[in-house]
Amino acid sequence: MTKIKSADVFIIIISVLLIIFLFIRTYSHPQDSSELLVRVDDESWRFTLEDDRILHIPGPLGETEIHIQDGEIFVEDSPCISKICVAAGKIKRPGQWIVCLPNHIFISIEGTVDSGNGEVDDIVF
């Protein structure tokens, strides 16, 4: 009843391919977004690592200042005496963590580890 011409088919094919590609890309891609998880006693906070941020997390001793910068996390300052948490440096991969025991603060990175990018962190003899 209605004529379909050659370029119609061409456009249809391109569009279908595009849509299939989008479906695959969006839905089967493993969620590789890691999250920062901060826990204090029974409260928790979660943040994405994409945006640079400065967080002030309240604990029993006071506020601990945590920085998210370029996908890395470190403790800038904390009201504890020994400041081990500050000295712990930066973490950036899922599974890594920093603790400030006096202030009851537990900082970790959660997320799926891309098996393709798995690196050896440490070799212990």
Partner 1 sequence: MQKSNLRIIAGLFMIPAFLLQKNLILMAAQVIFIMVVAVIKGKKVKPVPVLVVLISVVLMNLLQVNGKVLFTIGSFSVTLGALKIGLDKALTLIGMLYVSQYMVSGKPKLPGRFGQLLSKQFLFFEHIVTSWKRPEKGKFIESLDTVLEEMEHIYPDTDLSNGETNILYVKKLEVVTESFFVLCMWVSFMVGLLDIFPWG
Partner 2 sequence: MILETVRSMILSSEKTQSVITHIAILAAFSLFLSTVEYMIPKPFPFMRIGLANLPVIIGLSIFTLPELLLLTVLKIVGQGLINGTIFSYIFLFSAGGSLASMVMMYSVYKLMGRFTSFIGISIAGAMTSNAIQLLLAQFILFGSSIWIIAPPFLLMGFITSIFLGIFANVFTRKSRWYADLSTRKKAQDTPLRKTSGTEGGRNSHAEK
Sheet with 53-59: list strands edge to edge.
Answer: 53-59, 62-69, 72-77
Which of 46, 95, 112, 114 is the binder for partner 1 (CB under 8 A)? 46
How many residues bind partner 1 (CB under 8 A)? The answer is 7
- The answer to whether residue 45 forms part of the interface with partner 1 (CB under 8 A) is yes
56 binds partner 1 (CB under 8 A): no
CB atoms closer than 10 angstroms to residue 105: 25
| Alpha-carbon span 66 to 78, nearest angstrom | 9
Distance CA 26, CA 5 (A): 32
Shortest distance (Å) from residue 36 CB to partner 2: 18
Burial class (CB in 10 A: 0-12, 13-18, 19+), 67: middle
Stretch that binds partner 1, among 3-11, 15-23, 44-52, 101-109 (CB under 8 A): 44-52
- 6 versus 117: smaller Cβ distance to partner 2: 6
User: Which parts of this chain interact with partner 2 (CB under 8 A)?
Assistant: 1-12, 15-16, 18-19, 22-23, 26-27
User: Which parts of this chain interact with partner 1 (CB under 8 A)?
Assistant: 35, 43-48
